[in-house]
Copies of this chain bind each other. A is one copy, B any other.
């Protein structure tokens, strides 16, 4: 992507691929290159072997920590995994994702509800909010930093792959990283120089995700089927093929299996109250 040459048409093409439609793009818009970078986001699981310099990794992480934070409470932490044994211990938990071991760099993004408690103790105040909100706010703060990390990494040319499945092993990952009470892993993030061009993953139509004034998903079932077909055709399927499995069926099957049944217990063990 060349900064100077970005046009509204490039952005339209990218959004069209993603959403199957594209909003109109005002003339002379500032920041078109940034918008195109965000629109072209793709996940990368294969990387060239070159290292990601530690300075660069810390720079990207620091920039990411500039993200806004609920009530300025700053409830997100990043753990840089430099130690090969620690990386292997995490990667071994998730053998289906070999890129966790192979990525040139790996970070873990955590929610931190602990500093607020420490501040209360330090000043002799009673923390009066031991309920779901305490956990929720830290989760959202961590996700804001995670997204900023992805944007910052892509801006310097890195590819990323978020690893939310570390939550399937939240207690073990927490033990490996010495996470104290009220600190919990939200996602890992693989980083490296992408081996190939990224591919835009199609998204649901805007009718389902961008509402006006009131939420309306009355056409959800038919829109899901249309989306399944659009995705399927993009991937070379004939949607009438009896072997074709669309997005909605694949996701329904994924969630027909029990997953992370112990996540609530883990979060409770970390000291959060969930009601």
Residues of chain A having any CB pair with chain B under 8 Å: 3, 11, 15, 18-19, 22-26, 29-31, 33-35, 37-41, 43, 53, 55-56, 58-68, 70-74, 76-83, 86, 110, 112, 114-116, 118-120, 122-123, 125-129, 131-133, 136-137, 139-144, 146-148, 150-152, 154-157, 162, 164, 167, 177-180, 183, 186-187, 201, 203-204, 206, 208-217, 220-221, 224-225, 247-249, 251-261, 263-265, 267-268, 274-275
Contacts and interface: CB of A to CB of B under 8 A. Distances in A.
6 contacts: A15-B66, A74-B209, A129-B259, A139-B140, A144-B144, A264-B274
Given A114-B217, A208-B115, A34 B151 contact: yes
A120 to B, nearest CB: 4
The 4 closest A-B pairs by CB, nearest first: A31-B155, A143-B143, A34-B155, A132-B264
Contact of A140 (B15, B79, B186, B251): B186
Contacts of A43: 68
Number of identical monomers bound together in the oligomeric complex: 2
Name the residue in A72, A167, A208, A258 with the highest tally of chain B Cβ atoms < 10 Å from its Cβ: A72
A41 B68 contact: yes
Given A151-B148, A203-B65, A183 B256 contact: no
A153 to B, nearest CB: 9
Contact of A143 (B63, B139, B212): B139
A213 B86 contact: yes
Contact of A80 (B35, B53, B213, B217): B213
Nearest to A260: B133
Contacts of A162: 68, 70
A147 B156 contact: no
B224 A119 contact: yes
Contacts of A215: 77, 79, 110, 177-180, 183
A166 to B, nearest CB: 12
Given A25-B59, A201-B72, A79 B38 contact: no
Nearest to A206: B62
Given A39-B63, A220-B118, A81 B213 contact: yes
Contact of A61 (B63, B127, B136, B210): B210
Nearest to A19: B62
B183 A252 contact: no
Contacts of A258: 128-129
